Structure 1
Amino acid sequence: MAKLTANTFFTEEERKRIEEAVKAVEKSTSGEIVPMVVDASYEYPRAEILGAGFFSLASAVFLTWLFGGESIWVFLPLFFLFYFPFKLMIRQFPALRRRLIHPAEIDVEVEEKALVSFLERGLHRTRDETGILILISLFEHRVFVLADRGINAIVPADTWDEIVHTVTEGIRSGRTCEALCAAIGRCGELLEQHFPVRTGDTDELPNLILD
């Protein structure tokens, strides 16, 4: 099975549906909604180092005890012999690497990725400070929603939990495109209440980012 990446996460038809959903919402509000899919929020090198060290240590200790008479001179070559193959194995199997990372670290890295992307992509530069980023981070299996201060000054922060839940459940059930479109529509409803479309509004941001 081919590795799932941000560029292959949606079919061409699904991409068009998502972009159309964003355009439809932005016709009735001054807000800007940007769905974004990334392969991973961070590389997590520590997971590879610690994981490879643990597996190498366990393997070397076992084989040294079994065949080497508990000699350090047998243990050390075995440890280094196993280390790099185990490190490569962890790198090649995302599910294994993910299990070596504490969930709290994943949450922090995904949030940081959202913040950095928000700034790098210019979502903070909209005229009314009404940008919303819906980030889907594939490796981490996380969804994060970040709204600009113009929205957060009015909309309660826990409102975005509903959006995250909608997209997350859609991914789990294999209905990601439908769920994301529904989440975009819900964002539109929230924005329309407080930020209706204004004269001179333009589409300031991309309607879908795959990175």
Structure 2
Amino acid sequence: MRISEADIDLVTQAVTAAEARSDAEIATIVAERSDNYNDVPLIWAALVALLALAVYAAFPEFYIGLLDALTGGWHVWTMREWMTVLVFATMIKFLATRYIVGWWPLRMAFTPGRTKTRRVRARAIALFKASTERRTRSRTGVLIYLSLAEHRAEIVADEAIVAKVKPEAWGAAMALLIDELKAGHPGGGMAAAVAAIGDVLADHFPHSGTDPDEIPNRMICL
């Protein structure tokens, strides 16, 4: 899923329209992903290796019989040889799992949903602190963050907005964004979410004509 220049223009226009009705400022950021999840293949590889060792310990006769079948049954295995074979077999399973799950589509498929949610949230907060928090005179900045790979979005608001607006108020905006994202329209989803957020902000922070435009309206793509 890609963000086109038309998507950027669509969202930028939606931000401009929403800010015309409110003194609050809306920032929009879309990222291809929020994390590389490099730890996920390692965790799965470690789990597979531990499981393999447990199976070896539970059924030693089976694996000794398998080795005998491979060698013709003429070799008497010492403990050192048996342990060496186990170590190499476990290493092969570990490395194979590491590289198989390292393939990006599988890496995402094997990443728990809660992990994705936590990391998208953490990235959204970090970007909010860097780009939006306390960047407005009235502390009324809002960030809408969309992470494409995880199909997740976050809305993070400045302190003045948090004091007046309950988190549930963003539900409609999030629903619109996710629905459009599932339909393959990330730009349309972001624009719809901006409009819904603009409705909330207009109710609590109506346009006074005295508040300057302090955050760029153009959507940022990372």
Quick check: TM above 0.5? yes
Q: 2-side partners of 1:186 and 1:36: how far apart? A: 17
Deviation sequence 1:77-114 (CA, Å, 0-9, x none):
132234334323222233x2234333333322222111
Q: Structure 1 residue 17: deviation in Å? A: 1.1
The residue number in structure 1 matching 2:18 is 25
The equivalent position to 1:128 in structure 2, one of 125, 138, 145, is 138
The residue number in structure 2 matching 1:81 is 92
SS in 1 for 2:167: coil
The residue number in structure 2 matching 1:183 is 193
The residue number in structure 1 matching 2:74 is none
Matched pairs, number: 202
Deviation sequence 1:169-198 (CA, Å, 0-9, x none):
111122322222111111111111222233
Q: CA RMSD of the aligned region, Å?
A: 2.6
Q: Structure 1 residue 200: deviation in Å? A: 4.8
Q: Structure 1 residue 118: deviation in Å? A: 0.5
The equivalent position to 2:112 in structure 1, one of 102, 108, 115, is 102
Q: 2-side partners of 1:199 and 1:171: how far apart? A: 36
Q: Structure 1 residue 142: deviation in Å? A: 1.2
Structure 1: runs of 5 or more not aligned: none
Q: 2-side partners of 1:208 and 1:122: how far apart? A: 13
The residue number in structure 2 matching 1:48 is 41
The residue number in structure 2 matching 1:195 is 205
Q: 2-side partners of 1:169 and 1:144: how far apart? A: 14
Q: What are the equivalent positions in structure 2 for 1:65-76 lying under 5 Å apart?
A: 65=63, 67-68=66-67, 71-76=82-87
Deviation sequence 1:106-141 (CA, Å, 0-9, x none):
322222111111111133321111111111122322
Q: What are the equivalent positions in structure 2 for 1:132-143 lying under 5 Å apart?
A: 132-143=142-153
| Percent identity (aligned) | 24
Task: Kindly provide the amino acid, as one letter, of the partner of residue 114 in structure 1.
Answer: A
Q: 2-side partners of 1:166 and 1:144: how far apart? A: 13
The structure having more radius of gyration, on CA atoms, is: 2
The residue number in structure 1 matching 2:128 is 118
Task: Kindly provide the amino acid, as one letter, of the partner of residue 67 in structure 2.
Answer: G
